[in-house]
Each structure stands twice: as C-alpha cells, then as structure tokens.
Structure 1
Amino acid sequence: MEHRRAPLAHRVRYWFDTTLARGVTALIGWLAAACLAVVVPVSAALVWTDGGAPASLLGKLGAVWRHTGETLRLGGTVGPPLRVLLSVLLALVALFYVSTLVGLVTAALQQRLAALRLGRSTVLESGHAVVLGWSEQVYTVVSELVAANANQRRAAVAVLADRDKTQMEEALRTHVGATGRTRLVCRSGPTTDPVVLARMSPGTATAILVLPREEPSGDAEVVKTLLALEAAGAAGGGGPSGACVVAAVRDARHRLAASLAAGPRGRVLETDDITARLVVQSARQPGLWLVHRELLDFAGDEFYTVAEPALTGRTFGDAVRAYRTSCAVGLLRDGGALVLNPPAHTVVTARDRLLVIAHDDDTAVPDDRPPPADEALILPGPPSADRPERILLLGWNRRAALMADLLGRYVPPGSVLDVVADGGGATADAVRRAATAAGPGLSVTFRPGDTTCPATVRGLDAPSYDSVIVLASGADPDQGYGGPDDRTLTTLLLLREAERASGRELSVVTEMTDDRNRVLAPVRAGADCIVSGKLIGLLMAQISQNPHLADVFRELFSPEGQEVHLRPAGAYVRPGSETAFATAVESALRRGECAIGYREHTRSAVGPDYGIRINPDKTRVRRWSADDRIIVIAQS
C-alpha cells in the first residue's frame, strides 16, 4: 500500500517537537538561534542606517558584532580572534553564574510560596478560636465568631482542614465576606494528627470547635480529632489547656465516646437529635425557628450570665421585674448548676449569677424603678387545653424516627401522624418501628408515594392538617434530582399549588441541608425553614463563647424541661388593649413563665424579622391583638 508523504509543515513541526524532546541542551540551542535570528538582522539594520557608521564592510561587521554582543551581554570586544573568544568565554561564565543565581533564588521563592500555599506553618496566636474540620457548618461558625469578636481590638479565627489552603480562603471570603478586625488563618492538614494540631497553638486558644463531616465516618473522625487534641497536650504539643472544646456528632451512638474524648471542659452536640427536636417543636408552634435563630445569632439579643449584687437577697421574680431592656430567665447557682425559669419566689444569693437575654452583657443593668404593669389588663386564666393534632410528614430520612418518637411525647393523646414517602419496604418497616416507639398516644400511618409527584400531593388534602413537615430525603438521579433539597423544593411547589387551590393557609415546616437553598424555598414569608447545618453552627458558636449555654439549649430542646412557647397574647393581656410589654411580663410571671418577647401578627410575613421581637423595652406601649403571640419560656 502506497503511503502519502506528509505535508512539509507537518514534517517541520514534527522535527521541531522531536528536537525539543531531547532535553535542556536542545532548548538552549533553539533559544540561542531564535535570539540571533532577531538580534543580528536588527543590529545590521541599525549599523547600515547609521550615518556615522564605518565606511568599510569589515568596519560595519565589527559594529554589528558590538551591537549583538551588547544586546546579548557577550562583551562585544573586537580585535584578534583570541581576544574575541576570551571575552565571549568570560561573558558566558558571567551569564551562567547570574542565570544560576536567579534560578536558585526563583526556586527558593517558589518553594517558600508553595509551603505557604500548603499552609504548613505554625499559627502564632493567643486568645484565638480554632475550627477543626470542614463541613456545612464552617461558614456559619466562622461568621458568628467574627460577629462575636466585633468589639475586640485584635482577634483571630484559625481553620484547619484536609483541604487546599487557598481554596479554603477563597470559600470563606465568598461566604463570610468582610471580617473587620478578625483575621482568618487557614492551614492544611489532617485534624487527627497531634503534630499537625500543635501548629494551631490550641494551648493558647480560648475556644476549639470540631466540626462533623456529612459522611458515615464523620463521627469517628470527630472522636479521633478529640483524642488527637488530648495527645497533643500530653506530648507537650500545646493541647487545649484552658480552651472550651465544642464538638458535634450526628449519631447518638458516638456521643458518649466523643464526650469522654473531649474531657470535662468539652461540650458535645448531637446534630440529628437537636434538628429533630426543633423541627417537631416548630411544627406545633409556627415561628419558633425564627425565635431560636434570633437567640442564637450574635447580631441580635442572646443569652449572658451576669453577676448583679444589687439583687442579692431578693427573689427571682424581683429580678425579672427589675430589668427594662433585658430579660432575666434563669440562675447559675453556686457550684455550676443552671436553673432555667426557677420559681418566682427563689432567692438570689451572693454567689448566684443571673442568666439574662440582652443585647450585650454590659447592657444588662437593673433599673431603680421597675417598669410598671397595668393590673386591670392582666388576664388570670391559663392557656386553653391542647386538642389532638393531625400532622402530615412528607419524606423520610434518618431523623424521621426521632421526630415520631418526640411527637409521641409532645402531642396530646389521640393525635395522628400520617407519613407519605417512597423507598419501598425498608421505609415501611422503619415507619412501623417508629409507630411502636411513639406509644399509644400517637397514631402513625404510612402511605407509600412520591412526594414530588403532583397526583400524590393533590390526593393528600394537605390543608386539612394542623401542620405539614417536609423532610430532606434521598435524591433520585433517575428522576433528575441531584440532592435532597431538590426534592424538597419540588414538594414545596406542589404544596403551594394545593394551598392556592384550597384557599386555606398551610403551616409548613421545612428541613433543608444547604442554606443556599433556603432563599429558593417556595413557602410563605416567615415560615419555618430549618437548615440543620446552620442550626448546629449557631449553637456551636454560642457555646464556644459561653460553655454554660450548652445546658440552656439542652433543656430548651428537651420535651421534659423548660422550652420556648409562642402562646396567644389574648391569654395574657386583654385583647384590643393598649399597654406596655411589662404587663405581659407580669402576667406570665404569675403563671410561672418568663416572657421574653412577642410576635406581631400583622408583620408575621414581613422580613427580615417577620414580626419577632425578642427582649423589647418593657415600657414600650402597643395595642395587643388576639392574634399576636407572647414568647415565653415555660414548662413543656
């Protein structure tokens, strides 16, 4: 078979590529040839166009050589051939020395920059916060730590994760934005290596936060990280001698191990349990997530513990009445025991600290004249008894069984939980086990169905339920869903269509995994949309600044203890009356409750606060509607 000869251009390109493949020598030769191909013709043109150039050809060639030598730093010496060769030799030696020096300096700088890019250097900080690991909580945690440090002259947050340093810095800049006086320091490396942990200077840190990864092995990695922190201290590597250690695990099976590894100063959160509790509470009390978000966000009012000698020897009820711009809600007793919403007759001792909700710890100052309450407008009757509830649960995930169990303890007897989810027999078996665990007071039924299918949602009569819970369930790639939130958004769109068709308002609580999808959720403004990662991030940031708050939030999310309620304002003050918030505070106090704010019904769909007013001025007078809500801390 006759082969056609390749075109000349292709053969030249192949020959050129082959010579370059021979290595550095060929590359230097081509570089020299390319330089001479430009420098010699240009030098000749300069000489031949110069009116003062030598007349003879030999003189002109000598001038061309001088131009070429000066341009290429070859000396340009003329005269006998030996003299020219020696000058070229010296120029080449000088060129080789300078080039080698430049190469060594450049290589050293590149190595140094590469080391800095890898983030392997030691963090020389004191009083800083250390964040270990990278997960969906990292942006919330860093943002809240930056907000907490807003009044500090010099603060730093150091992040260690097994990721590229520049990628972490870019991601934090994008999601967190300006950090003010707080410096962000990122380092790369495994969080389970004590040697690497020592580079973060945990011994001089005030707080260490260990984030869980959303993977099956994430909890085990948290435990190993906590053990590595202890090993770093035992080996003299700068372990967390006085820092508050806050960690989070997903599964209850790893909580005890993580608590033991964290030590006596450690606080371990169980993310699935906390998320399930808040979803259930919000389903029964719309707007509850907004209240907790306000309490957990450093930008608003939050919990503080303060010492107040002026209230020593007085009762807790007197302390509640004494503050105009703060709310006393508990006592930190001598010995560290925290009592939330103690009886009003409890005496405050000299060693007690008050737990207050305030804009800042230095604003919690009692008034000489307590805000007066209008006795004529206080209603003595207790809130109406709860009736059985009907709740619709759309979707099923690993937290759904916890929610069913909690509903069995929260809701009145005779309540119903209808579950609609796909997943086949495995989901049906899980629902049956959850129904058994929930107890006889809650009837749990299961209906298989795809909650992203319009026919399924239309056949549910969702507006007839007291509340609807939409869970972030597994994705289905065959149907074009890339993540759990994709299915959730589709389900919410179908629920909105059902709401519009019926003309009745739906009370929907949505669980999501990505905070970026929250703003896309097609739900009524002000509805509860709980992002588990953001919730846990807010909790970890708060506890890292005040470890006693771990006990506060543990009780607030427990069905057996004190918790936050949104109750009808008409049960506390006379509807239609104009009176100060102090009247509602006094009315709640007489029922053994602490009023911490209210929700204005007419603004419940208006952002950014959606009518939520936490810790309002107790002297502020407003007209109270029967549809308003008083926010109280009371027994479950």
Structure 2
Amino acid sequence: MGSLTRANAARAASKGAAAPKPNTTKGQQLGEVSLAEKLKYEFDKSMAAGPIALVGWLSLVTFIVILFAATLLALTRLGPDGGFNFFEAAWQSLMRTMDAGTMGGDSGWPFRFLTLFVTLMGILVFSALISIISAGLDSALEALRKGRSRVLEADHTVILNWSPSIFDIISELVVANESRKKPRIVIMANKDKVEMEDEIADKVSDLKNTRIICRSGDPTDLFDLSLINAQTCRSIIVVSPEGAEDPDSQVIKTVLALTNDPKRRDERYRIAAELRDAKNAEVARIVGGDEVQLVLADDLIARIVVQSSRQAGLSAVYSELLDFDGCEIYTTELEELVGVTYGDAVMGYEDSALIGLRYADGRVKMNPPMDQVIVAGTRAIIIAEDDEAIKLTPMPDDAVEPTAIRKRKAVRRTAERTLIIGWNRRGPMIAHELSKYVKPGSVLTVAGDIPDFEAEILSMPMGSKNMKVEARRIDTSHAASLEALEPLSYDSVMVLGYSDHMEAQSADTRTLITLLHLRKLSERLGEHISVVSEMIDIRNRELAEVTRADDFVVSNKLVSLMLAQASENEYLSAIFDDLLDEDGSEIYMRPVGDYVDLALPLSFYTIAAAARQRGETAIGYRRKRTDGDDDGRNMGGVVVNPSKSEMLEYLPEDRVIVLAED
C-alpha cells in the first residue's frame, strides 16, 4: 500500500517537471542521415550502373592523381633540367600512369618517389580497367550465347516452341526454300540457344541455302516475341511444346500474343499451329481468327491410321501430298476455267491434277460434282510439281480409249473384324473414326497392358452403333500372347506405340518387337496378316521395314509435313479437313482392272476418264514393285500425279488412286 502511494506521488510530480532532452544518437538512427552515408549511398548507386560507371570512377581517380602530381611538380620544380611547367608535368604524369617503363631514367629521389606513386596508381587503374573490359566482353558474349538480341531479318519463317518434330519441319522448309534468295528460319523456344543449334546441326544434315537463327525466350511473352521480328516474317509455325503439362494452352497463348500484340503489323499473319486435343480447336479459332490454320495432330494421325488400315499404302499418298520433295497441293485462280465444268477441267491438265475447288465464300470441296460449272472467284486446287507446271493443255483426240473403259460393278460390303495391339491417347480417336466406316456387326478388339486399360476401352464413345468393342489385357511383346489373339482371323491389324507411357525410342522398340512376332507368326502359318503400324520417329522406319508390315504411319513426320505445308499454303488445313472427313470425298486405292481393260497398254487419260464417269477424280496409281525396284523414297510403288499421256501396262494387283465419296 505504501509503495503504491509513493509511485502515484512520483507520477504526479513528473507532470510538472520539464520534458527530457531527446537522445541525439537515437534521433540520427530514426531520421537523420550523415554526409558519409549519403556519399556512400550515391557511390553504391553509381556502381550499380555497370561497367560505364566503373570506367568513369577510374578516369576520375586517374585525373586526380595526374592533377596532384602535375601541381606538385610545377610548384617544386622537381625533375631533370630544372623541372617542368604545369602542362609538361601533367603530360609526364599521364605517360607514367600508362607505361611503368617511362620512369626508368628518372633521377633524384624526391622526383623518383613522386613518379613511383603516379606509376603505381596507373598500374592499379589500368589493371582494374582491363578487368572491367574483359568482364564486359564476357557479358556481351554470354548475352549472344543466350540468344537475346533482336532479329533484323525480313520475309523469314518463324518457328515457336521446341519439339521432336522441329527437325522434320526444318528439313521440309529447306527443300521449299531452295528457289528463294537468302532464306532464313528463326526459332524461339524456352531452351538454351547453343543446345538448339547443336541439336539442329546433329539431326538436320544439309541446310543448303537456308540459315537457322535461334533465340531463347518465352513465345507467350510480348517482349520476347519482339526479338523474332514477327512484323516482317513470311509465316509462323507454332509447334506443341515438348514436356509441357498443358501444351495446347501454351500454343493458344502464343497465338493470342501474336495476334493481339499492340505493335503487330496491319497485314494479316499466316500462322500454322499444332494442337493435340480437338476440343481446344474452337478456342484457338476464336483467338487466331482467319490468321491461323490449325493442325490437330492426334486427330490427323488417327484418321490416317484408320484409312491406311483399310487400304495399305495410303500413308505414302498423304506423305507425297505433304512432302515438298515431290508433288504439292497448290491453290490458284485460273480465268481459263471460268464457265467450264469440273469434269472437263479435270481432263484439261496433262502434267498436273485438278482435285477440287475453293469457292469465294471460303468453302472447300474436294471432287465436286462433274457437271458443276466453275464461276469467277473460284480457286482451283491442283496437285503439281511446282506452280510453273500448272497450265491447261489440250487433250489429244486419241488420248482416251473408250472401249477399254469398264462399267462399275456393285460391291457388297460385309462386317469387319479389326485388331488393335498397343494403346495411346490416339486410340479412342482411332476407334471412334473406324466405327464410322464399318458395316453393322463389326468388332474391334483392343489388346494392351497399361493401367486401367479395360475400363478406358469399354467407356469409349463411338461414332456409330455399327461396331462392338472388346478389350484383352496381354503382354504385347510376348509371342505366345500375340498368337493367342489369333491375328489371322482379323481383316486388319493396327499396332500402336505406347507413346504416353514411354519415351519415343522405347515405344518404337516395343512396336518393332510386336511387328517381328507378327511377321514370324505369318511366315510359320504361311498366311498374310494385313498390318498397319504407327511409328513415332522417322529414323525407325528403316528398321521397321524388315518386319514387312503393309504400311507405316510415322506420327511426328506427318505432323511436321502438315505444319510445314500449312505455313506455305493458307488453304491446306481446310483441304485436308475435307479429305479426311467421312462426309466428303476421301482417297481410295482400287483395282485398276475395275476401271479399265488390262489387255493393252493404256494412258492415264483413259483411267481418268473411267473415274470421271463414276463421279471420281483419279490422281495416281500404285504399281506392284518387282525385286530390286526401288523408288528411292519409300513410296511403295505409289505415283501421284503421273503424266496422263504416258502409256503403261497394268497388272491385276495394281491400284488406281481416286477421290471418291465412298
């Protein structure tokens, strides 16, 4: 109680007392800044400016040393012959800072000590200067190595993102660029510039007259995109990035950045973009508008695998249409065709093949009705070796042999049994596409050994009710397990790679093992098994040839070809959408003997006329290859766009390649 009274009294007394003086040291810590701190702070800021600031400080130190020495020498008259005046002393001091050997002939100890001081300061300054210059050069070289400088090219092709398909894209563009002057390909990806250059040098053997320029950066970032100079480019290819968790979103963001860049050009871009999931196509089209052509990679491969499984050798036809090394698809507006029916126009080209029309409203129709009259504004879709070969040529009077043309026979189709060995993300698309072509009662059996395999197979949506699906869980690399499937009982067999669960090379190796087992089984039983296989890497195609499969669909290669062609032809995506759609005209390979009499040599004019009578467009043939016969391009005897006047003898095993509704 007494202590509380004393405390209260003390507080009361303190109210009347004078306030204590603030602590000076504490005040400086809270708000006041000393001159030394200010100078140190300004020095730190100047040093943060980089090598230029360092050179400035060294120059200032050198100037102060020379000024001090010159003033002292001028006042004391130290030195030979009665000393120097101020300007001569300044010059002598400057020479000693730059060259230590200058002081070798000095005399007099006071003069020697002064010049020694100047020389030592010069050594210190110039050593630091050399270090700064060396560091600056290293920094500049590192910046060049990182690929962060702006590209100043024009009319170049830009490739954004990095994937295994990029090497095939480059190879195709190199062929396309042979006739161009100083062609350039600029590549930007989230990858080290030197690594990109090394990989390209290893995997692309001959760049011919094309130069590759690599830049490191994020293709979805507007600043990084400014490095590739897209405003002056010829075309842009956006590939699906390797290793990305959601590659389609990266592609869509890249297209969005290109088309909505505030600094973009007024002229429309020509963009070819790769998407994996067709569900993302609508968003990509909204983002890119009419500037983007979408290549739906998985959808493209699935459709070609299905069609090749039903017609062996068909993948070679698609490769030929997409390969710059052979015939290509051109779209051109020809005034000579206005007022002519499509059927007559088909027969009007000897060294090129008219295959469809692109109308003024943007629609594409492959193999339109033969009696359709071509109107102004319609563009012709033509297969030719180059654009100079596209010209109308009068058909000779005796070009067609009418008596050799056979009438069409009705073909009754039956239910089919199909076997798929192996599985990946394209499997459901293949099954869905296949169900649209088969007759009721057809069966698809899928054999594989991946987790949750059966549940995924049985829950797949089908394109029609014509086909029943069943799953078999087996080791697809085991010969006895494959034999238990009885592959000879199926009309066709497809072998898919486990590309979602293995690296590309491992998946292709597993596919090769399966194909070899099927080949040995076929040889042992003495019966042919119709096999179409999906390969991932084109380099494994030659190894797969020993398995004697009927056809190979090389996934990465076909996607690369499509992207490269789409970058050069803005209508290509719409053309292939129509070609691969079951509702339009597709490519078929049918016996030549169903169209013409094989007793005598015939021109392709006669075959084209026979196809025209059926409402079909003939675009080539596949002839049986004899031993030792090699076309040099793994085309399997396929010839697209032959000369129509060439006379050839055909065998019953030969096929004519046509565009037809069914």
TM-score by length of 1: 0.82
Kept in 1: contact 2:350–2:395 (CA 8 A): no
* Among 255, 258, 281, the residue aligned to 1:229: 258
The 3 A distance-change label for structure 1 pair 245 and 98 is same
| 2:361 alignment partner in structure 1 | 335
| 1:441 alignment partner in structure 2 | 466
* Among 434, 439, 448, the residue aligned to 1:407: 434
* Among 183, 194, 201, the residue aligned to 1:173: 201
| 1:351 alignment partner in structure 2 | 377
Kept in 2: contact 1:569–1:630 (CA 8 A): yes
Letter in 1 for 2:416: E
Question: 2:566 and 2:505 mapped to 1: Cα distance?
Answer: 34
Question: 2:377 and 2:318 mapped to 1: Cα distance?
Answer: 29
Question: 1:99 and 1:161 mapped to 2: Cα distance?
Answer: 40
How far did residue 266 of structure 1 move? 1.4
Question: 1:514 and 1:417 mapped to 2: Cα distance?
Answer: 27
Kept in 1: contact 2:424–2:500 (CA 8 A): no
Kept in 2: contact 1:77–1:87 (CA 8 A): no
SS at match of 2:213: strand
Query: Do residues 250 (structure 1) and 273 (structure 2) align?
Result: no
Letter in 2 for 1:452: S
| 2:47 alignment partner in structure 1 | none
How far did residue 589 of structure 1 move? 0.9
Unaligned runs of at least 5 residues, structure 2: 1-98
| 1:615 alignment partner in structure 2 | 641
| 1:305 alignment partner in structure 2 | 331
| 2:247 alignment partner in structure 1 | 218
| 1:296 alignment partner in structure 2 | 322
Question: 1:527 and 1:110 mapped to 2: Cα distance?
Answer: 57
| 1:548 alignment partner in structure 2 | 571
Kept in 2: contact 1:137–1:536 (CA 8 A): yes
Letter in 2 for 1:417: L
Q: How far does the alpha carbon of each residue in 1:231-258 deviate from its partner, in whole angstroms, 9 at most, with x for none? A: 32xx22x368421112121112222122
Kept in 1: contact 2:531–2:549 (CA 8 A): no
The 3 A distance-change label for structure 1 pair 116 and 529 is same
Query: Do residues 202 (structure 1) and 230 (structure 2) align?
Result: yes
SS at match of 1:110: helix
The 3 A distance-change label for structure 1 pair 631 and 482 is closer
Kept in 1: contact 2:623–2:637 (CA 8 A): yes
Question: 2:114 and 2:604 mapped to 1: Cα distance?
Answer: 98
Matching of residues 511-530 of structure 1 within 5 Å: 511-521=534-544, 523-524=546-547, 527-530=550-553
| 1:505 alignment partner in structure 2 | 528
| 1:265 alignment partner in structure 2 | 291
Query: Do residues 390 (structure 1) and 417 (structure 2) align?
Result: yes
Kept in 2: contact 1:466–1:507 (CA 8 A): yes
| 2:85 alignment partner in structure 1 | none
Matching of residues 476-515 of structure 1 within 5 Å: 483-515=506-538
Unaligned runs of at least 5 residues, structure 1: 1-71
Letter in 2 for 1:329: I
Question: 1:330 and 1:523 mapped to 2: Cα distance?
Answer: 38
SS at match of 2:179: coil
Question: 1:174 and 1:595 mapped to 2: Cα distance?
Answer: 41
The 3 A distance-change label for structure 1 pair 206 and 474 is closer
Letter in 2 for 1:450: D
How far did residue 520 of structure 1 move? 2.4
Question: 1:199 and 1:92 mapped to 2: Cα distance?
Answer: 46
Question: 2:100 and 2:581 mapped to 1: Cα distance?
Answer: 82
Question: 1:80 and 1:170 mapped to 2: Cα distance?
Answer: 62
Letter in 2 for 1:306: T
Letter in 2 for 1:499: S
Question: 2:216 and 2:126 mapped to 1: Cα distance?
Answer: 36
How far did residue 369 of structure 1 move? 3.5
Q: How far does the alpha carbon of each residue in 1:537-585 deviate from its partner, in whole angstroms, 9 at most, with x for none? A: 1111111111111111001111221111111111111134311111111
Question: 1:171 and 1:129 mapped to 2: Cα distance?
Answer: 19
Matching of residues 40-59 of structure 1 within 5 Å: none
Question: 2:602 and 2:331 mapped to 1: Cα distance?
Answer: 29
Kept in 2: contact 1:78–1:84 (CA 8 A): no
Letter in 2 for 1:512: M
Kept in 2: contact 1:145–1:541 (CA 8 A): yes
How far did residue 106 of structure 1 move? 2.3
Q: How far does the alpha carbon of each residue in 1:124-149 deviate from its partner, in whole angstroms, 9 at most, with x for none? A: 12222211111122112222222222
| 1:316 alignment partner in structure 2 | 342
Kept in 1: contact 2:277–2:296 (CA 8 A): yes
Letter in 1 for 2:300: I
* Among 588, 591, 594, the residue aligned to 2:614: 591
Q: How far does the alpha carbon of each residue in 1:314-370 deviate from its partner, in whole angstroms, 9 at most, with x for none? A: 211111111110001111222332221111111122322211100011111111334
| 1:138 alignment partner in structure 2 | 166
Question: 2:444 and 2:480 mapped to 1: Cα distance?
Answer: 21
Question: 2:210 and 2:100 mapped to 1: Cα distance?
Answer: 51
SS at match of 2:586: strand
Moved more, 589-598 or 329-338: 329-338
Question: 1:281 and 1:446 mapped to 2: Cα distance?
Answer: 22
Kept in 2: contact 1:133–1:160 (CA 8 A): yes
The 3 A distance-change label for structure 1 pair 206 and 475 is closer
Q: How far does the alpha carbon of each residue in 1:392-438 deviate from its partner, in whole angstroms, 9 at most, with x for none? A: 100122211111111111122332212111235x211121123x625
| 1:185 alignment partner in structure 2 | 213
| 2:22 alignment partner in structure 1 | none
Kept in 1: contact 2:240–2:248 (CA 8 A): yes
Question: 2:229 and 2:410 mapped to 1: Cα distance?
Answer: 53
TM-score by length of 2: 0.79
Question: 2:532 and 2:525 mapped to 1: Cα distance?
Answer: 19
How far did residue 487 of structure 1 move? 1.8
Query: Do residues 379 (structure 1) and 406 (structure 2) align?
Result: yes
Question: 1:118 and 1:322 mapped to 2: Cα distance?
Answer: 55
| 1:48 alignment partner in structure 2 | none
Kept in 2: contact 1:230–1:239 (CA 8 A): no
SS at match of 2:413: coil
How far did residue 112 of structure 1 move? 1.4
How far did residue 212 of structure 1 move? 0.9
* Number of residue-to-residue matches in the alignment: 558
SS at match of 2:304: helix
Question: 2:463 and 2:423 mapped to 1: Cα distance?
Answer: 16
SS at match of 1:303: strand
| 1:428 alignment partner in structure 2 | 454
**Which is greater in Rg?**
2
Question: 2:464 and 2:288 mapped to 1: Cα distance?
Answer: 35
Question: 2:403 and 2:506 mapped to 1: Cα distance?
Answer: 56
The 3 A distance-change label for structure 1 pair 406 and 439 is same
Question: 1:481 and 1:118 mapped to 2: Cα distance?
Answer: 28
Kept in 1: contact 2:537–2:554 (CA 8 A): yes
SS at match of 1:511: strand
How far did residue 216 of structure 1 move? 3.3
The 3 A distance-change label for structure 1 pair 153 and 319 is same
How far did residue 154 of structure 1 move? 2.8
Q: How far does the alpha carbon of each residue in 1:443-489 deviate from its partner, in whole angstroms, 9 at most, with x for none? A: 32221101011221122232332221111125878xx9973223212
Query: Do residues 104 (structure 1) and 104 (structure 2) align?
Result: no
Question: 2:538 and 2:475 mapped to 1: Cα distance?
Answer: 24
Kept in 2: contact 1:475–1:487 (CA 8 A): no
Matching of residues 25-44 of structure 1 within 5 Å: none
Kept in 1: contact 2:516–2:547 (CA 8 A): no
| 2:480 alignment partner in structure 1 | 455
SS at match of 1:322: coil
